[in-house]
């Protein structure tokens, strides 16, 4: 059972908004760490303003001497201008397992990446299309699901709603591990699941649970929405099954007998991928969703035409499609970029962790970058095609493992969360604004 909790009052310990006027937090040297590279000279008049930034191309090349091109320098400078602007601590104080924005890409078309421009009114509020819900963020952790407005009063990250599994459930039996958004006219639904073995479909507009989906007999580790409609979802659980559900009917249509730790749909919806606990990726064909049988149909790995390949050596904890290919990550910090048709490896990324870390990565909506957290509290941002680490984000207060991170629609924000209930938001700050802050800081020091 899901109940709506009263939203706790914010205090300095629950929500801290970092302003440019806090000398202890606004200019930390360790917030944006430059990746190791050869030292190169910079021209003194070389600057990158917010107005001069154009869409960054997907390919970045160097000239024959090995010096960096202007596009490479612009890319590095763009991500070096990220600063920690917001910190939220959720009141449960436990691990936050997933963050997800409600981009509503199935029902609303709009530019993404740096082509997406925010328009502000005279009050400093963002003016947006009624179907553009990209400011809405959900988190799941402990026995709670929290909903945030990422653009409250302009650019504040503020909680708007809070739901909790019945208080009769303790953390061990009620912890929420995964969630996904579903669009409805004049409403937004959030599907959440975890240790309760039940999927709850929550209405944000009505603040109540619309459906409960029963069927799994063990912990649910992942749920994913169908990319072409908001009626069907997939769920993976430790009971060695993957289930395909019709949300409005509240029924399970198909059960796939396979041990999967994570799942992800192909963008067409015609196939889906499962990753398991020993590093295998299996590609399944989606059964018919039109007039399915009234009885639940069970499929075994040998019943359908599936393709399988051992991509990793240990448990897979995240899968995403990028530029028609696939990114998959295992808990030992290895990320593989491979061809969907042939399973051929294109590129490997190794994330330095002090220990195995289950962490969901995210891909920017323009499919040029991905961000991933580490067990050491840092966030790495990579260029997918060049394979380069473009920046590393870290704050001296963030030393715990990062369990998930996400890009905003315009790629100008990265939000990360992990242990102890913290959410960290890093924003792009223009050179002009940074210069203004530095001048203000100097003035204060001279007083």
Which residues on neighbouring strands pair with residue 416, listed in sequence order? 405, 424
Over range 252-259, report the average pLDDT. Answer: 97
Over range 278-282, report the average pLDDT. Answer: 97
The yes-or-no verdict on residue 1 having pLDDT over 80 is no
Residues 30-56: tens digit of each pLDDT = 344 334 444 444 343 333 333 333 333
Write down the mean pLDDT value for the chain: 83
Please give the pLDDT value at position 170. Answer: 63
Over range 307-322, report the average pLDDT. Answer: 97
Strand segments, DSSP code E, in 18-174 are 32-33, 82-89, 96-101, 119-120, 126-127, 136-141, 144-152, 156-165
CA 154 – CA 163 distance, rounded (Å): 25
Residues 315-328: tens digit of each pLDDT = 999 999 999 999 99
Please give the pLDDT value at position 68. Answer: 66
Please give the pLDDT value at position 399. Answer: 73
Please give the pLDDT value at position 242. Answer: 98
Over range 299-314, report the average pLDDT. Answer: 91
Please give the pLDDT value at position 252. Answer: 97
The yes-or-no verdict on residue 119 having pLDDT over 50 is yes
Long-range contacts, 267-275 (Cβ 8 Å, 24+): 267/227, 267/321, 268/227, 268/228, 269/226, 269/227, 269/228, 269/229, 272/224, 272/234, 273/319, 273/326, 274/236, 274/242, 275/311, 275/312, 275/316, 275/317, 275/319, 275/328
pLDDT band for 61, please (50, 70, 90 cuts): very low
CA 37 – CA 45 distance, rounded (Å): 22
Residues 335-391: tens digit of each pLDDT = 999 999 999 999 999 998 778 889 999 999 999 999 999 998 999 999 999 999 999
Cβ atoms of 433 and 102 within 8 Å: the answer is no
Q: Shortest CA distance to 425 belongs to which of 177, 181, 158?
A: 158
Highest mean pLDDT among 25-39, 99-113, 167-181: 99-113
Q: Is 217 exposed, middle or buried (0-12, 13-18, 19+ CB in 10 A)?
A: exposed
Please give the pLDDT value at position 352. Answer: 83
The yes-or-no verdict on residue 423 having pLDDT over 70 is yes
Please give the pLDDT value at position 395. Answer: 74
Percent of the chain past pLDDT 70, that is, above it, reads: 82
Q: Shortest CA distance to 382 belongs to which of 362, 365, 400?
A: 362
pLDDT band for 67, please (50, 70, 90 cuts): low
Of 147 and 2, the structure prediction assigns the larger pLDDT to 147
Please give the pLDDT value at position 10. Answer: 43
The yes-or-no verdict on residue 28 having pLDDT over 50 is no
The yes-or-no verdict on residue 160 having pLDDT over 80 is yes
Weakest mean pLDDT among 13-17, 62-66, 255-259: 13-17
pTM (2 decimals)? Answer: 0.83
Long-range contacts, 203-208 (Cβ 8 Å, 24+): 204/136, 204/147, 204/161, 207/4, 207/161, 207/163, 208/4
The yes-or-no verdict on residue 282 having pLDDT over 80 is yes
Over range 431-439, report the average pLDDT. Answer: 89
Over range 93-111, report the average pLDDT. Answer: 89
Weakest mean pLDDT among 37-41, 190-194, 203-207, 275-279: 37-41
Please give the pLDDT value at position 2. Answer: 64
The yes-or-no verdict on residue 58 having pLDDT over 60 is no
Please give the pLDDT value at position 356. Answer: 84
């Amino acid at each position: 059972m899901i109940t709506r909790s009263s939203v706790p009052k914010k205090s300095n310990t629950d929500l801290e908004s970092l302003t440019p006027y806090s000398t202890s937090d606004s200019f930390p040297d360790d917030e944006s760490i430059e990746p190791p590279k050869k030292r190169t000279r910079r021209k003194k008049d070389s600057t990158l303003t917010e107005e001069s930034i154009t869409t960054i191309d997907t390919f970045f090349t160097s000239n024959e001497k090995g010096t960096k091109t202007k596009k490479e320098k612009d890319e590095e400078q763009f991500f070096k201008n990220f600063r920690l602007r917001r910190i939220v601590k959720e009141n449960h104080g436990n691990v936050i397992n997933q963050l997800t924005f409600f981009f509503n890409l199935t029902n609303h078309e709009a530019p993404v990446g740096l082509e997406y421009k925010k328009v502000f009114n005279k009050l400093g509020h963002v003016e947006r299309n009624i179907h553009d819900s990209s400011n809405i963020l959900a988190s799941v952790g402990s026995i709670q699901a929290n909903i945030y407005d990422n653009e409250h009063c302009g650019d504040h990250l503020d909680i708007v709603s809070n739901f909790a599994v019945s208080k009769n459930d303790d953390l061990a039996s009620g912890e929420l591990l995964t969630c996904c958004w579903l669009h409805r006219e004049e409403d937004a639904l959030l599907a959440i699941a975890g240790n309760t073995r039940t999927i709850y479909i929550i209405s944000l507009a009505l603040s109540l649970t619309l459906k409960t989906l029963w069927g799994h007999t063990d912990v649910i580790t992942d749920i994913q929405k169908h990319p072409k409609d908001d009626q069907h979802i997939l769920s993976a659980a430790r009971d060695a099954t993957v289930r395909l559900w019709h949300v409005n009917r509240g029924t399970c249509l198909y059960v796939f007998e396979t041990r999967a730790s994570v799942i992800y749909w192909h963008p067409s919806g015609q196939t889906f991928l499962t990753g398991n606990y020993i590093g295998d990726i299996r590609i399944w064909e989606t059964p018919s969703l039109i007039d399915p049988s009234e009885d639940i149909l069970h499929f075994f790995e040998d019943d359908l035409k599936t393709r399988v390949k051992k991509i990793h050596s240990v448990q897979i904890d995240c899968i995403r499609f990028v530029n028609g290919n696939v990114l998959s990550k295992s808990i030992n910090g290895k990320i593989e970029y491979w061809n969907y048709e042939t399973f051929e490896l294109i590129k490997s990324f190794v994330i330095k962790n002090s220990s195995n870390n289950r962490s969901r990565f995210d891909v920017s909506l323009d499919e040029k970058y991905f961000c991933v957290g580490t067990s050491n509290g840092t966030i790495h941002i990579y260029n997918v095609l060049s394979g380069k680490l473009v920046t590393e984000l870290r704050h001296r207060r963030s030393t715990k493992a990062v369990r998930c991170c996400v890009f905003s629609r315009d790629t100008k924000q990265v939000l990360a969360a992990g242990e102890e209930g913290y959410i960290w938001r890093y924003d792009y700050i223009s050179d002009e604004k940074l210069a203004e802050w530095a001048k203000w800081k100097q003035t204060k020091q001279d007083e």
